Amino acid sequence: MILSEIRNYVRDKKRCTLNELVMHFDVDAEAMRGMLSKWAKKGKIRQIPVSSSCGSSCHKCNPELTELYEWIE
């Protein structure tokens, strides 16, 4: 199932952005956030704050997708 695939992807990479996950799994950002929240409730994934300029100064990234997630061992 996709939840276990997400677990494996984030665990293997240690950290990844929402944009990476959306592109890798070809899933809508809101759907991905919902799946990530299931792992967050289990204490396995956490969202890491990004710098205030990320997604706004260079305009290369969509600011709505610059969320950073980390696997917790």
Render pLDDT for 24-70 as a digit per residue (tens, 0 to 9): 999 999 999 999 999 999 999 999 887 655 545 565 656 666 789 99
- Per-residue pLDDT at 49: 80
- Per-residue pLDDT at 65: 64
**Amino acid identity at 58:** C
pTM confidence score: 0.79
Tell me, what CATH number does 22's domain have?
A: 1.10.10
Provide the residue range defining the domain that includes 45.
2-71
Spatial contact of 69 and 36, defined as CB atoms under 8 Å apart: yes
Q: How many separate domains does the chain show?
A: 1
Digit-coded pLDDT (tens) for 4-20: 999 999 999 999 999 99
The 10 Å Cβ neighbour count of residue 27 is 16
Handedness of CA 4, 8, 11, 13 (dihedral sign): negative
